[in-house]
Amino acid sequence: MPDRRDLANAIRALSMDAVQKANSGHPGMPMGMADIAEVLWNDFLVHNPANPRWPNRDRFVLSNGHGSMLLYSLLHLTGYPLDIEDLKAFRQLGSKTPGHPEYDPEIGVETTTGPLGQGLATAVGMAIGERVLAARYNRPGHEIIDHRTYVFAGDGCLMEGISHEACSLAGTLGLGKLIVFYDDNGISIDGEVKGWFTDDTPARFEAYRWHVVPDVDGHDPVALRAALEAARAEADRPTLICCRTVIGWGSPHKQGTAATHGAALGDDEVAATRDNIGWSHPPFEIPEDIRQAWDATSRGAAAEGEWQARLEAYRKAHPEAAAELERRLAGDLPPDWEPAASDFVADVSANGKKMATRKASEVALNGIGPVLPELFGGSADLTGSNNTWWSGSKAIGASDFDGNYLFFGVREFAMTAILNGLSLHGGFRPYGGTFLVFSDYARNAVRLAALMKVPSILVYTHDSIGLGEDGPTHQPVEHLASLRAIPNLAVWRPCDDTETAVAWRAAIESRGAPTALVLSRQGLEHQPRSEEQLAGIRHGGYVLRDPGDGEPEAIIIATGSEVALAVAAARALEEDGHRVRVVSVPCVEAFAAAPAEWRDSVLLPSLGRRVAIEAGITDFWRSWVGPGGIVIGVDAFGESAPAADVFAHFGLTVGDLTTAVKNLF
């Protein structure tokens, strides 16, 4: 019968073999954390390799994602659909084992990690998700949602600012089912971290209101098991288990040094390591007794089977709650969603009013929120400005998780990663708000949302120089183009209440991409539309206004607050005898994905007289107007003054737009 060290050495061997075969990767962390992983996965982790999507599984997040071979080894050994050939293809094109973990629920990879600290913050979102669903759906005698979130994190994760944001909030919320293992090996890529990282980490986390288990020997299974038992006994605080480890443990000449961090050990050192740890088996070969000891399929089937029995009892006792919970976990929208959403959009279109689109967003939340129990939102300390609170909102806190709103505090980056965690956990349509200019703080989490194809909703208000007196530090200029440059992110900048309603509907219905809703501070006129125009909004670009008679002679392309300028300019030009079409493009990405026939019917490829106007940098629109077209925008930082004065200063007025169009004739 293999002992614990034999089982841990299987991780070490697979990790160093895969890195060596690829001649690329990070062997040191998997070798150093192998003993921790063995105790957690064999003694505590509740999961079912035969059903990686089982809703009540424990979540495992490898925040220090460069050590990806640790995760792949664990998934392979415990019985997930990741075979030895997949491990041999580590870091190769098209493999299931990329250099850093990429979200793949079919094989048990819970989230994309690699950018340090984000896995930890995402895990906070998962832990929040568990607590909120448990508070909403569990009943006496029916603990149907009851699982933990485990995280591996290194010193790099804890150096990143996002760790401070997320862990501070986790402590405030008292997330007792969140357990983090800190791999304290004293080494990063640049060498010994004592030259740049001397934090008193246990004291820091105690200050966050965490339960801390300090000074655990990360290579002692007895000590590790005791630490885990202590962590699991703590119900009201998240736990940090501080593990002293040796990076590259087992490598006789490189362990404990940066040489094991980010490069293959080399054939000679791999051979020496095999001798040193007593692993006599060829590369990628796992003895049958060790493989059987690791296999978690029978334990997993039993755990899920027991839960399924509890679920059946829950269904009988609480059929309505059970049906709603299962629908939410499946990611399906309510059966009355489509008629409710259609009726709401039609009502806004018919009875629209002048308002800021941030206010229109609040109206949308009040319109759709009552039919969406999975809607969960918040703001990074700007609730009143972002208008993210609606009449059905109820804030959660450490003493009450039965709600649908979270005051994130000034934590834009962590907020966005937490939204991703809620999406990944399942059962939520999460949204979070801040000013558009502060999307920069959160950008890497936005990027990961797009990379993972999770439908997080990002509410960005105060979208332009229209912010006015707060000045250039708060006036976004490059941000629209910057967000549009992220693949698989839908960026909606609506021009009025109707486009805002459609944008919210699109965001809720998105299954494979996040959505950014970019909203104005200033009031915007409601634009009247025909039924055809209303339907056209969902294509991302459509004809909002055409000349009264005859074919258009020029096209004005606009988004957001500048659409009203375009409409006013078109009217003025018509009075001067020019026939001008106004095209509203609330979502460039949706328009680009629309059928070519639709795009051509809107933009008329043969018509070269085009002017684009948007309160942002101009380069993005130059390909839209063509070589003979004109773009009006802002290619400098803003100014502090009343909004009307700032718009006039940068030439974004009806007069400026009218002159630009006339110059094309």
Q: Which residues are catalytic?
A: 412
Half-sphere exposure of 73 (CA within 13 A, CB side): 32
Q: What CA–CA distance (Å, rounded) separates 27 from 13?
A: 10
Q: What CA–CA distance (Å, rounded) separates 480 from 182?
A: 38
Residue among 143, 123, 141, 183 nearest 159 (CA): 183
Q: What are the residue ranges of helices labelled H in 576-626?
A: 588-593, 596-603, 622-625
Residue with tokens 């009355």: 336
In DSSP notation, 508-536 reads: HH-SSS-EEEE--SSEEPPPP--HHHHHH
CA-to-CA separations, 296 to 43, 97, 222, 270, in angstroms, rounded: 11, 20, 21, 28
Helical packing angle, 497-509 and 357-368, nearest 10°: 50
CB contact at 8 A, 493 and 502: no
Q: What CA–CA distance (Å, rounded) separates 511 from 509?
A: 6
Single-letter code of the amino acid located at 376: F
Residue among 33, 26, 44 nearest 11 (CA): 33
**524: exposed, middle or buried (C-beta count within 10 Å: 0-12, 13-18, 19+)?**
buried
Q: How far is CA 417 from the centre of its chain?
A: 5
Each residue of 504-516: b (16+ CB within 10 Å) or e? bbbbbebeebbbb
CB contact at 8 A, 303 and 86: no
Secondary structure class of 600 (helix, strand, coil): helix
CA-to-CA separations, 77 to 93, 146, 320, in angstroms, rounded: 23, 25, 39
Ramachandran class of 326: left when φ > 0, alpha when ψ lies in -120 to 50, beta otherwise: alpha
Tokens of 155: 């010193």
Tokens of 128: 């929040």
Q: What CA–CA distance (Å, rounded) separates 545 from 26?
A: 58
DSSP structural state of residue 55: T
Q: What CA–CA distance (Å, rounded) separates 228 from 225?
A: 5
Residues 6+ apart with CB under 8 A from 226: none
Helical packing angle, 161-173 and 412-425, nearest 10°: 60
